[in-house]
Structure 1
Amino acid sequence: MRPTRRALPAVALTLTASLLLTGCFASSPGTDAGPAEGAADGRIRVAMLQPPRSGLSPFSDDAFKLSRWSTAETLVVLDEAGDPQPALATEWTRNDPRTWTFTIRQGVTFHDGSPLTADAVAGALRAATEASPKPRILDGVELRISAEGDTVTVTTGEDDPLLPQRLSSPQLSILAPSAYTGATVNPVGTGTGPFVLTEVDGTTAAHLDRYEEYWGEPARAGGIDVTFVPDGTARAAALRSGTADIVEAVPVSQAALLDEETITEVPMPRTNTLYLNTGSGPFRDPALRAAARDAIDRAALVEGVYEGRADQAEGLLGPAIPWAAERPERSGRTEAADPAGTTITLATFSDRAELPEVATALQQQLERAGFTVEQVVREYAHIEADALAGEFDAFILSRATVLDSGDPAAYMVSDFGCDGSFNISQLCDPAVDQALELAERTPSGPERRAAILQAEAAILNTDAAIPLLHERVIQGDAGNVVDSAKDPRERLLVTADTHLR
């Protein structure tokens, strides 16, 4: 095992690879399709998009890095449909609307050699609830945790039918008690996954070795060597030159320069949506919202801006959520009025490179339909407050539709409920609120999914949000990489099954 240079704070999660789709792709020096050279002892070299932003804190999005490295695990994982499946918990029971009991898997050891016990699990979960700030998955959520024998009981402050899904978040992974003894949480050598984190080089690199005592099927690769490469051109070059085996988030502009066999496009639960201000301005009129709806040419956006590497939106939820295709037929759409030169402000942000281009294309489409369009583009930090305050008539947003629990209801409530905290459309519609309330209180499974699709239909009938397209992320693998995960939720990348030929 490599010597530990510096122990950094973090917690993470590993999802079971068989629950999600996997695949592979390739590169070697001077070509795009051959096997990469230089990987020793079956170690996999990964070039990642973003360096740690919060010192690998488990209570930030850095937790997803450790999840993608398979170095720590949660009690529960999600299958492709978003339903909970056993991981460090083998089973669970809902005792009453607010109380759940989880049975902890036996025979598991942490990477520091200590055993996984109910007390250790309870301590890890309490650390998350007591953190400041709390993990995003616990925002507004009250949990009380107790351990008895080989079970952990979790009591929520309010009815929470999604508690098992909530416990699948990488921000609630379970580390050894020794991880929590200092001022910060230390993920180095304290997880339970098939790879043990042995070394972290600040925001530059990280190294993991195969954990020989893993409770499941052992890792097929000898280890993982991670480098953080924020520049997309440099990441693509690493794939071409053979200095990386797996590359995260290849930019659309670079994808055309790579052999198609070396890249995989993964549908993401992220939708580019045109939010229309229903609270003030011209789009208070449903007929003008309908005119904007009818003006949109989604195919032109996908082909012209995304070079065909996106999916035209049929609803708020896209192909990354397989059951969204079961949406019901809609009726009751408002007829469009003639805009007759109505002036509107169309805003977006520059942090995502494609959005200003989308804004320009939409401006042209809306003007052809008869609107007069004034465009506003700023950095997100300087435009979010005005968007939430209803300062714009229309706002283009790239929005994750499945948040940490793996369930779209939270996103819909946030964005379209009367009291939603991210209600850019200023929407307050009784039919929408009623549908959202039903979706929120329905237990997970087919009935909840049907209720979510009914809520989606209610939202779309208002034309407060016009979904444009669903994004894809482009991932690259070297030709000798086998079974890297292609995970729409971005929780998995290198799993126990991933290896080099």
Structure 2
Amino acid sequence: MKRYAMTVFCAAALSTSAIAQEGKTLTYADFQPVQTNWQMASDDSYLGSRVGCFETLVRLNWQMQLEPGLATAWEQIEPTVWEFTLRDGVEFQDGAPLTAEAVAVALNHLLNAEMPARPFSPKLIKSVEAVGEKVVRITTQTPSVLLPAQMAAPNTTILAPAAYQGKTIDPVGRCTGPFEIVEVKPKEYVKFKRNDNYWGGKPALEGGMVVFIPDANTRMTQVRSGEADIARLIPPHGVKQLEGAQGIELVKLKTPRVTELLLNNKKEGLNDVRVRQAIQAAIDGEAIAASVYEGTVTAAASAFVPDDPWAPKGIAPIYDPARAKALLEEAGIQPGQLQFELLAYTSRTELKDIAAIIQAQLGEIGIKVNVRVAEYTAIEPDMMAGTYDMALMSRGYLTDIADPYGFLLADYSCGGSYNMSHYCSEEVDAQLEKAAALSDPQARYEIYAQLAKKLFDEANTVYLVNETSVDARSERVKNYEMHPLVYYLMTKDITVE
């Protein structure tokens, strides 16, 4: 049996000895509401997983290792064929049994969706079929050793067959997790209760609620007042405010995320590598890290942090305005000749400040920048369609698949489903196809490092800072540690004193 596992980020393992707390509930504040009525390709799948309702065939633990979820074993029986053996005795919350046919219904619904998920799309997956009661066979389009990692992404959640009603999805009472969703107001909250029949053992808490609060300052206020027990994604200025606050503990983790400046490689001006390199050299990542993030993050050269096993060697953040001006002169660009619009979105409050710094620093080399700040949903269509110039983005490079392959494929392959740089290289595509078939992780990592170096040299994207995520929680909350990819929050062991 070929298993994929990796250990990169460490966090404390959660207790497995929690005792049921009758009458005890927990409220946590999240920044992003239900947006697409639970379409699995969207962030709604991550929300359902954090609530403790959604579950997948494979789990990714806090040490970034794959472990059994709704499947207890998986085997690559041919280069393009994997079989997953399901756990015995699991029932959906509506009483339906977990069978191979039920799994096939869920995954085929995802494959046939108008917008399939990045880790599990028809570009990657050829077919899903039930083999008897307990075995699911998944065939990939090309040889791949990474399918188990793909099956840990919340996008591949398995719900009861009754959840899939035409193109719509209704998860209420139809999950397998430790908590059951009982009420949804998409822009306001989700309420959940304990699943007493959970296959993994009775959860400690009786239930709770997630409230949707886009404004970071309001989330901080709620955790300080006790209205929320946990507040997700505390912004840099809030970290200083909450440090030392009575009854509140900050949970900090260097996460596999990067704040990046996306450049539309097809736009006039930005389609010249010298112009992109000039922009890269004109931006001071160290200054952004020190001022906007108050020293809680580090300046980036690539998307990957330097101690990642796949990080490129021998590169460092560039800040050289003289070099930037020389590159523009070499490209035949006169001061004031280039003017670009820079997009930033509101749910990451720091992006507005970063945009102002970039506007000023590019102005110093003769590039005029106009900044537009809006909700992410308002600017994503322009980015996907390639009608934008530049945009700021916080991007998790292990979020889609717990291997950089998923990020590189989605963001930098010619047909990538999240290729907002609109970059295309046959060489990159060939290297990614080669990496997907390599069972030796180190051999894959060498390819990823080479590709990251190429992206850096060509300045296809300007990577600004490698991020640190911060949550705030009441000291009454026990057995909570931030998951490196924020896949899970409400586990069966989380408790409130």
Pairwise TM-score range, normalised by the shorter structure: 0.7 to 0.9
The percent identity for this pair of structures is: 29
How many residues are treated as equivalent by the alignment? 463
**2:235 aligned partner:** 251
SS of the equivalent of 1:484 reads coil
The answer to whether the 8 A contact 1:314-1:467 is kept is: yes
Partner amino acid, structure 2, of 1:348: L
Deviations 1:133-155 (A, max 9, x none): 44454333332312314211122
Q: 1:463 aligns with which of 453, 459, 471?
A: 459
SS at match of 2:453: helix
8 Å contact kept, 1:432–1:458: no
Inter-partner Cα distance in structure 2 for 1:149 and 1:460? 49
CA RMSD of superposed structures (Å):
3.5
In structure 1, C-alpha distance between the alignment counterparts of 2:272 and 2:166, rounded to whole Å = 57
Deviation at residue 90 of structure 1 after TM alignment: 0.8
* Partner SS for 1:350: strand
* Counterpart-to-counterpart distance in 1, 2:105 and 2:272: 53
TM-score of the two chains, using structure 2 as the length reference:
0.80
Distance 2:179 2:401 in 1: 24
Residue matched to 2:5: none
Report the counterpart of residue 177 of structure 2 in structure 1.
193
> Which residue among 8, 11, 24 is the counterpart of 1:21?
11
Pairing partner for 2:261 from 266, 269, 274: 274
1:90 aligns with 2:75: no
Aligned to 1:406: 402
Structure 1 distance, partners of 2:380, 2:97, is: 49
Q: 1:293 aligns with which of 256, 280, 284?
A: 280
Hey, what's the Cα distance between the residues in 1 that align with 2:429 and 2:167?
Answer: 43
Compared CA separation, residues 241 and 447, structure 1 to 2 (3 A): same
Secondary structure of the equivalent of 1:269?
strand
Q: 1:484–1:96: structure 2 CA closer, same or farther, 3 Å change rule?
A: same
Alignment CA distance shift 1:295-1:349 (3 Å): closer
Counterpart residue number, 1:362: 358
Match of 1:375 in 2: 369
Measured against aligned partners, the alpha-carbon deviations of 1:378-412 in whole angstroms (never above 9, x if no partner) come to: 346458647964774x6544434334223332332
Q: Does 1:64 align with 2:58?
A: no
**Which deviations, in whole Å up to 9, do the C-alpha atoms of 1:201-251 show, x marking residues without a partner?**
454333322222222243222222222233322221111111111112233
Q: CA deviation at 1:468?
A: 1.0
Q: Deviations over 1:254-286 (max 9, x none)?
A: 333323452223334332223456667556665
1:77–1:265 Cα change, 3 Å? same
CA contact (8 A) 1:83 1:445 kept: no
Relative contact order (alpha carbons < 8 A, sep ≥ 6): 1 or 2 greater? 1
Q: 1: CA distance between counterparts of 2:232 and 2:28?
A: 8
**In the alignment, is the contact (CA less than 8 A) between 2:258 and 2:466 conserved in 1?**
yes
> CA, structure 1 residues 456+310, in 2 after alignment: closer, same or farther (shift >3 Å)?
same
1:205 partner amino acid: Y
Counterpart in the other structure of 1:316: 303
Equivalent residues of 2:195, 2:203 under 8 A apart: yes
Query: 1:175 maps to what in 2?
Result: 159
Map of 1:328 onto structure 2: 313
In the alignment, what sits opposite 1:48?
Answer: 30
Aligned 8 A contact 1:346 1:363 in 2: no
CA contact (8 A) 1:348 1:397 kept: no
Q: Which residue does 1:14 correspond to in 2?
A: none
Question: Which residue identity lines up with residue 307 of structure 1 in the other structure?
Answer: E
What is the alpha-carbon distance in structure 2 between the residues aligned to residue 48 and residue 174 of structure 1? Answer: 23
* 2:3 match: none
- Counterpart of 1:348 in structure 2 is 342
Q: Is 1:129 aligned to 2:106, yes or no?
A: no
Which stretches of structure 1, 4 residues or more, deviate above 6 A after TM superposition? Answer: none
Shift in CA distance, 366/446, structure 1 to aligned 2, threshold 3 Å: same
Partners of 1:178 and 1:387 in 2: CA distance? 33
